[in-house]
């Protein structure tokens, strides 16, 4: 059974990746907004923002990477919505294909597409002066957290992809996720925020994730933020996966 799921998932993954290769503007579009934010905040606002020394691009990059993922998963929801509304899922259901493979094909496609977008953003950041002396283990930890975050948001995107009634409905769900980093430590330190805003910024998931990524490539101790970031990512992943699978079973029952 496991072999069948793996084989079917691989086939459907290749199908989705072929669609992306035929339309590379999807990845480019996903990366354009984060890159524009990098350029805007570093070259326009960066001189007026105090982050305690160091390059502002180094401070800014973790939050922009999370925004990149949030932008990318909107396309995951759209691709899933297109398959569901176009009757592709019903067609596959009549074939000897593992049911879970239908979703995993889209999920893994999201991971691959988002990794490509993240690499593009990092390359632009390097051209803008981003530098890190972090070792291999630190960068592997950064990659691991970004993968967890991507998987969590991707499974969250599966839910509107399965249930949305229109294109506007399926694309609109990602806007709050893109906005969330703005009320965190992603762009400015939380210490200068008004009391209620500061409390929210310090207790929402983006801040510990951003702080952990920033400390990892700055060769600084991650402290409690590291564990909090992992708990947020894993917790969101478990809840999103459970809700997505429950929604899928109801949708295809």
Mean pLDDT of the chain: 84
Whole-prediction pTM: 0.88
Between residues 4 and 240, the one the model is more confident about = 240
What pLDDT does 204 receive?
A: 93
> pLDDT-based confidence at 27, cuts 50/70/90?
low
pLDDT score of 1: 43
Half-sphere exposure of 49 (CA within 13 A, CB side): 23
Distance CA 71, CA 2 (A): 32
What pLDDT, on the 0 to 100 scale, is given for residue 86? 72
Percent residues over pLDDT 70 in the chain: 87
Total domain count for the chain?
Answer: 1
The CA distance from 156 to 77, in Å, is 9
| C-alpha to C-alpha distance for 60 and 68, rounded to whole angstroms | 13
CA nearest to 212, candidates 153, 169, 149: 149
> Where is 15: in which H helix or E strand?
helix 2-22
pLDDT, position 94: 64
Residue 130: per-residue pLDDT: 92
pLDDT tens digits along 35-74? 998 999 899 887 777 777 778 999 999 999 999 999 888 8
Burial label, 93 (beta-carbon count in 10 A; 0-12, 13-18, 19+): exposed
Q: Stretch 24-33: mean pLDDT, rounded?
A: 73
Band of pLDDT at residue 231, cut at 50, 70 and 90: very high
Q: Residue 3 pLDDT more than 60?
A: no
pLDDT of residue 196: 92
pLDDT of residue 2: 46
| CB contact burial 28-67 (16+ within 10 A = b; e otherwise) | eebbebbbebbeebbeeebeeeebeeebbbbbbbbbbbbb
Sorting pLDDT into bands at 50, 70 and 90, what band is 106?
A: confident
Tokens found for residue 180:
């969330």
Cβ neighbour number for residue 235 with a 10 Å cutoff = 12
Domain extent at residue 230: 2-252
């Amino acid at each position: 059974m496991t072999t069948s799921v793996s084989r079917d998932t691989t086939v459907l993954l290749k199908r989705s990746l072929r669609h992306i290769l035929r339309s590379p503007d999807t990845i480019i579009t996903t990366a354009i907004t984060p890159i524009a934010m990098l350029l805007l905040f570093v070259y326009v606002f960066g001189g007026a923002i105090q982050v305690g020394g160091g390059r502002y691009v180094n401070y800014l990059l973790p939050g922009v990477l999370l925004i990149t993922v949030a932008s990318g998963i909107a396309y995951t929801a759209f691709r899933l919505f297109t398959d569901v509304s176009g009757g592709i899922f019903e067609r596959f259901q009549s074939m000897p294909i593992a049911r879970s493979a239908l979703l995993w094909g889209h999920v893994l496609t999201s991971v691959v597409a988002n990794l490509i977008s993240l690499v593009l953003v990092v390359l632009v950041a390097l051209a803008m002066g981003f530098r890190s002396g972090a070792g291999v283990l630190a960068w592997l930890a950064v990659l691991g957290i970004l993968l967890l975050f991507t998987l969590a948001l991707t499974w969250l995107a599966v839910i509107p992809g399965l249930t949305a009634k229109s294109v506007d409905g399926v694309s609109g769900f990602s806007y709050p996720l893109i906005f969330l980093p703005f009320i965190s430590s992603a762009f400015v330190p939380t210490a200068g925020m008004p009391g209620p805003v500061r409390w929210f910024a310090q207790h929402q998931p983006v801040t510990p994730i951003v702080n952990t990524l920033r400390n990892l490539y700055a060769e600084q101790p991650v402290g409690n933020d590291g564990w909090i970031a992992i708990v947020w990512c894993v917790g969101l992943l478990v809840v999103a996966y459970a809700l997505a699978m429950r929604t899928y079973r109801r949708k295809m029952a």
